[in-house]
Structure 1
Amino acid sequence: MKLPLVIVNPASASGATRRRWPRLASELRAHFGPFACAFTEKAGDAMRIAEEEARAGRRFIIACGGDGTISEVANGLLRAGTETELGILPSGTGGDFQKTLRIPRRASDAARALCEGRTQLIDVGRANYVGFAGRKEERFFINVASFGMGGEVVARLKKGTTRLFGGRLAFAYSMLRTVFGFERPRVAVSLDGKEEIYLDVINFCIANARYFGGGMKIAPEAKLADGLFDIVVIGDMPSVEVVLKSYSIYLGTHLSLDQVSHAYARSCVARAVEGGREVSLEIDGETVGRLPASFEILPSALRVRCPSI
């Protein structure tokens, strides 16, 4: 049987993973055991490697990096269509998905969780949308997809803010830079095939897991194995109010706000109402394209190694 494979993104955490890898590898060998290793060089490599290795019979593949790396590896496994299990060795900027799974950040503890943890089947989202080239594209997501301000915040974040701050402060800084002057898009949305409703939104989130944006508890009630998305909509509120109430999103107490709505759904279809207005879409912390888009839940679609708690 093939050894577990660790797919390492050395560029994650603004390049810090490259420096950390010798220590991470040592902790993994000490607390997990022998493994094989592959390094990514560019975006898309983790997805390609994961798919190829899963098809070749690799039964356990571990993503070492941030949310983007984890999402790429998950996409590769899902495209392969095998029962290969996903593991996570955290080394990124945001670390949102690992929070829902309660994966420890410390390398030795994460390695023990990979060794002693249990296999859990989790739900996955499937998104169809318009990519940057103007063609229809498809992508799976394990954490959160969102459109509105979220896509623009992520785009700004990728321009280098993380090098200045890192982690939660980077997301907060990018949000502050974006919110003032952000033009609220008007969108038409249908949940579970019901009649369209029209909304002016700051952000519209289709959540499979609980956290996004560097620790924001956007969907505090989300469960990874309930067969449902948590739909969380931050409506049209003044920019100053968005900033003042952003702390409630980090705490997960925002669902009680008048301008925030919450629903459950198995599918969602969304389009921009204003002619020619592009509404950015981000998936698992990466800007991937724009509306129109559709989202569908795939129950129990992915095997993930979780801590035994």
Structure 2
Amino acid sequence: MKIGIIRNPVSGGRSGRARWRDISTALAARFPQRELRETASAGDAARLAIELVEAGCELIIAVGGDGTIGDVVDGLMRSARPDTVFSFIPTGTGCDFARNFTLPHAPDALVRHIAEAPVRRIDVARVTGSSSGGQDALRHFANIASVGVSGRIVEAVNGRGRRVANGSLRFLLCSVREILRYRPEVVRVVVDGEEIFHGPVTVVAVANGRWFGGGMHVVPFADLADGLLDIGILRGTGKFGVLGILARLYSASHVGHPLISFHRGSVIEIRPVADQHLSIEADGETLAFDRLRVEVMPAALSLKI
């Protein structure tokens, strides 16, 4: 089997680079016929995925965090062979998509697990909308897209400058800071043609997977292969009320809270009220969209994990 490897060389910082040495050795032992590509800037992973598909690779492995995984999935869905088999090795800050699976940590065991795993089909979500420049835009995601303070948090987590923390702690610190700064955005949420919410929100999460934000179990009912998307809405409230809910997200004890509702559907639209700016992210990467239309693509991704 010819495989293509797409690696984000800055994913995970020093620990990610150290881990890559063992991962690379394990991949060489299991997959002698392989091509390696490394990203250098945003959007590279999707482009490289398309190039590797065109080069005849039968399996594409993403090595990086949620952003790298999401970009590679986006590239596969845009490629001439969207059924090309996909896998991943998590090395990033949050690694939330990986939380949907039970995976060994040791590099040699993880690579062996990938080599021996059967191919399964899971859903993908397709996002369409208008970019901030007024152009039609398209993106696919594997895990979660969201609107609200989560978009601000992702921008802060990915921001340049000196890092005071990494991993889940970095997400937590950025979450507290951005919640204290955030003013609720006012949106309309439409699911399968029916308006289910109109008003200020803290977060609207459109979920294929269950986790985001470095381990927040935000939509615990989500299923990667049920042909539907789950929506979690946290209504706008005071800053300290949001911080109290934040503490519950890691254990999923926010379920049943009166400010939170859950919904399910195939097509979800999130629109701003008036000309308000929306803060949007997908798979841990900021999207410069002014509104979202998310549609599930049932069993669209061939996953080997």
With the shorter chain as reference, the TM-score category is over 0.9
CA shift, 1:259, in A, is 0.6
Q: Partners of 1:63 and 1:296 in 2: how far apart? A: 24
CA shift, 1:202, in A, is 0.4
Letter of the aligned partner of 1:126 in structure 2?
R
Are the aligned partners of 1:132 and 1:288 in contact in 2 as well (CA < 8 Å)? no
SS in 1 for 2:137: strand
TM-superposition CA deviations, 1:157-178 (whole Å, max 9, x none): 1124783211111111111111
Show the 5 A alignment for 1:191-210.
191-195=191-195, 197-210=197-210
Q: 1:301 to 1:110 in 2, by over 3 A?
A: same
CA shift, 1:218, in A, is 0.8
SS in 2 for 1:163: coil
CA shift, 1:289, in A, is 1.5
Q: Partners of 1:54 and 1:164 in 2: how far apart? A: 38
Q: Partners of 1:15 and 1:70 in 2: how far apart? A: 20
SS in 2 for 1:245: helix
Letter of the aligned partner of 1:239 in structure 2?
K
Runs of 4+ aligned structure 1 residues displaced above 4 Å come to: none
Are the aligned partners of 1:14 and 1:163 in contact in 2 as well (CA < 8 Å)? no
Q: Partners of 1:99 and 1:197 in 2: how far apart? A: 29
User: CA RMSD for the aligned pairs?
Assistant: 1.7
Which one is further off, 234-243 or 70-79?
A: 234-243
Which one is further off, 111-120 or 140-149?
A: 111-120
Aligned to 1:172: 172
Are the aligned partners of 1:205 and 1:231 in contact in 2 as well (CA < 8 Å)? yes
Aligned to 2:85: 85
Q: 1:194 to 1:188 in 2, by over 3 A?
A: same
Aligned to 2:279: 280
CA shift, 1:206, in A, is 0.3
Aligned to 1:154: 154
CA shift, 1:19, in A, is 4.1
- TM-score, normalised to structure 1, is 0.93
Show the 5 A alignment for 1:130-141.
130-141=130-141
Q: 1:134 to 1:143 in 2, by over 3 A?
A: same
Letter of the aligned partner of 2:198 in structure 1?
Y
Aligned to 2:142: 142
Which one is further off, 182-191 or 138-147?
A: 182-191
CA shift, 1:244, in A, is 2.0
TM-superposition CA deviations, 1:63-117 (whole Å, max 9, x none): 0011111111111111114121111111111100011122333322221211111
SS in 1 for 2:221: coil
Aligned to 1:95: 95
Aligned to 2:117: 117
Q: Partners of 2:191 and 2:266 in 1: how far apart? A: 8
CA shift, 1:18, in A, is 3.6
SS in 2 for 1:120: strand
Structure 2: tracts of 5 or more residues without a match: none
Q: Partners of 2:252 and 2:71 in 1: how far apart? A: 27
Letter of the aligned partner of 1:189 in structure 2?
V
Q: Does 1:61 align with 2:60?
A: yes
Are the aligned partners of 1:129 and 1:289 in contact in 2 as well (CA < 8 Å)? no
Q: Partners of 2:203 and 2:38 in 1: how far apart? A: 34
Letter of the aligned partner of 1:244 in structure 2?
G
Q: Partners of 1:66 and 1:300 in 2: how far apart? A: 22
Aligned to 2:303: 304
Q: Partners of 2:275 and 2:194 in 1: how far apart? A: 25
Are the aligned partners of 2:137 and 2:289 in contact in 1 as well (CA < 8 Å)? no
Q: Partners of 1:105 and 1:272 in 2: how far apart? A: 42
Letter of the aligned partner of 1:225 in structure 2?
A
Are the aligned partners of 2:228 and 2:264 in contact in 1 as well (CA < 8 Å)? yes
